[in-house]
Amino acid sequence: MPWIMVDIEADGPIPSDYSMIALGAIVVEPALDRCFTAKLRPIAERFVPAALAVSGFSREQTLAFPDPAQTMDAFVRWLAGLGGTPRFVSDNNGFDWQFVNWYLHHFVGNNPFGHSSTNLGSLYKGLVRDTGASFKHLRRTAHTHDPLDDARGNAEAMLALPGLGLKLRFDR
């Protein structure tokens, strides 16, 4: 049952009123070579220019991105090909999860991750017993706001946690 590190970029704060415009996911394992990345055409008329600017794309560029229904179907097929029940983990699961969960239910009809997600930052804070601690120094890949780069860096950080004493289970 693989851990899947996920990162998204969006043009606003919530799904449906705003749009997920990019998705990156990577299996948390030493090779870091099983990954998924996609761009998604906006589903909403509204967007927050400052939020969109973080992604580096213009509104005009995003309007030419692929259909989100096809993208989410491809994501589900990629997840199914991994075997087992995937587990969702991200740096900011409150944000990333809401978009991925909504898009999966809306466009595919179900969420292969189930009803749960894990926050990497909270996992690290508990491990080091410090609610003010940050795991970000454990990333090797630069945080560029390309969702695959960001998912890769976060997966690298998660893979460093067993060296700090975390028993990272891949069997359930």
pLDDT, one tens digit per residue, over 121-143 is 999 999 999 999 999 999 999 99
Is the per-residue pLDDT at 170 higher than 90? no
The catalytically annotated residue of 106, 137, 143, 145 is 145
Average pLDDT over residues 138-165: 97
Assessment of whether the complete model's pTM goes beyond 0.85? yes
DSSP character at residue 9: E
10 Å CB burial of residue 2 (0-12, 13-18, 19+) is middle
- Whether 145 sits among the annotated catalytic residues: the reply is yes
Q: What are phi and psi of 87, to 5 degrees?
A: -115, 125
Is the per-residue pLDDT at 171 higher than 70? no
How far is the C-alpha of 24 from the C-alpha of 91, rounded, in Å?
12
Q: Is the distance from CB of 52 to CB of 21 less than 8 angstroms?
A: yes
Complete domains list, the chain, with CATH: 3-164 (3.30.420.10)
Is the per-residue pLDDT at 1 higher than 90? no
Tens of pLDDT, residue by residue over 64-74, are: 999 999 999 99
